[in-house]
Amino acid sequence: MTDLAAAEKLLDNTTASGTLRLRGLTKEFGNGADKVVAVDAIDLDIEPGEFVTLLGPSGCGKTTTLRMIAGFEDPSGGQVTLDDVNMIDTPPNKRPMAMVFQSYALFPHLKVRDNVAYGLKIRRTPSAKLREEVDLALESMNLSALANRAPNQLSGGQQQRVALARAMVMKPRVLLFDEPLSNLDAKLRERMRIEIRTLQRHLGITSVYVTHDQAEAMSMSDRIVVMNGGRVEQAASPDIIYRQPASVFVADFIGRANFLDVEKETSTQQGRARVKVLGHSVDVPAHPDAPAAEDVVLLLRPESIRLKAVDTRAGGGLGGHEGRVLFSVFYGDHVEYEVETEHGTITAVVADPNVDAIHREGDDVEVSFNAERAWLLPRTRQPG
């Protein structure tokens, strides 16, 4: 059986989620001195029903990767396989996948119902079955009352739900999202995140989601794939990405971070190291490459920093573990501080603050941190 015939067989059997494999997936643009490697030999396994987000800055290769999975972009090398069937030579309309676009891509001359039904009509679905499937999709996305409206009579959130219903009604083995929420306002984005994730979990569809929004990635994903310069920096669950990043780039890109210069004293084989920082010797968790690295840096998330009022004015200067508040901002549910220390400026965040205890600009404070929340990293990514 040819790859195309095998793909068409998968298309006829859309009752299960797909297993997606990327092997050495590469995309180059231009030739010679003008050649740009947009995606550089990516290997990635995505399991049935998994929600994986490709996250990274503009130009990192995440959208190009998604387009190669969908078949809209031809790879320069490598493979895309779905349930062990090579998809490279299969055109987009023959792949058992569906895409939800950033621009919604609704047909302006068709009503909501006809937009949702379009793919099923192309597939020549029998009329009774088509009506049943469309009604179910409209109901699942709370669109039944809007079925006879035109796209220009809908809000942005409603249009996005139509685009999602149109994709879901096809019962794809893989559902692809190309920054689908970027055109919505902040509150609507938050609501749509929940709706998309809830529906995806209910249906169990393997999903690949592209975004540059960290909050979307952290709140929706089973795994996040952080990309940089066409390569995968790290692929892991949101908590591992945040607490134990594989590189300084990942640590700096995900959330906010303090990077402190430290003196490495001893290392152990249990993924820990003893370092001297802020005037103290402390035992901290360490990246596997940190013990052998000559130059290391300690990652401290702002919420792990602790501040305590002290009086250092009489002493004539700041000690190794002391700092001076440059400014504080009260946000209601938390206070954010910038603190000047001998080791540089540190950002600290204190949740649910007691208003009477908020440190003010110019206050001297003792700076400490939760050592178990720290993470020792090589300053530069190790080769290989």
φ, ψ for residue 127, nearest 5 deg: -55, -45
Helices 156-168, 112-122: crossing angle, 10 deg rounding: 20
69-83, 93-107, 268-282: which is most confident: 69-83
Helix 156-168 / helix 186-203 crossing angle, nearest 10 deg: 20
Residue 148, pLDDT above cutoff 70: yes
Q: Which amino acid is at 253?
A: F
Q: How far is it, in rounded angstroms, from Cα 278 to Cα 367?
A: 8
Per residue in 113-137, pLDDT tens? 999 999 899 888 999 999 999 998 8
Query: Of 3-7, 106-110, 268-272, 346-350, which range is least confident?
Result: 3-7
**Average pLDDT, stretch 52-61?**
94
> Position 306: which residue type?
R
The one-letter amino acid at 263: E
Q: How confident is the model at residue 10 (pLDDT cuts 50, 70, 90)?
A: very low
Question: pLDDT tier at 384 (50, 70, 90 boundaries)?
Answer: very low
| Lowest mean pLDDT across 43-52, 102-111, 202-211, 363-372 | 102-111
HEC letters along the chain: CCHHHHHHHHHHCCCCCCCEEEEEEEEEECCHHHCEEEEEEEEEEECCCCEEEEECCCCCCHHHHHHHHHCCCCCCEEEEEECCEECCCCCHHHCCEEEECCCCCCCCCCCHHHHHHHHHHHCCCCHHHHHHHHHHHHHHCCCHHHCCCCHHHCCHHHHHHHHHHHHHCCCCCEEEEECCCCCCCHHHHHHHHHHHHHHHHHHCCEEEEEECCHHHHHHHCCEEEEEECCEEEEEECHHHHHHCCCCHHHHHHCCCCEEEECEEEEECCCCEEEEEECCEEEEEEECCCCCCCCCEEEEECHHHEEEEECCCHHHCCCCCCEEEEEEEEECCCEEEEEEEECCEEEEEEEECCCHHHCCCCCCEEEEEECHHHCEEEECCCCCC
pLDDT computed for residue 316 by the predictor: 46
Q: What is the mean pLDDT of residues 50-77?
A: 95
Q: At 310, phi and psi to the nearest 5? A: -140, 165
Identify the residue with better confidence: 212 or 382. 212
pLDDT at residue 321 above 80?
no
Highest mean pLDDT among 59-73, 264-278, 284-298: 59-73
Asked if the model's pLDDT at residue 161 lies above 90, the reply is: no
Res 320: pLDDT? 56
State what percent of residues in the chain have pLDDT above 70: 92
Domains of the chain, earliest start first: 3-96+172-243 (3.40.50.300), 256-378 (2.40.50.140)
Mean pLDDT of 176-191: 86
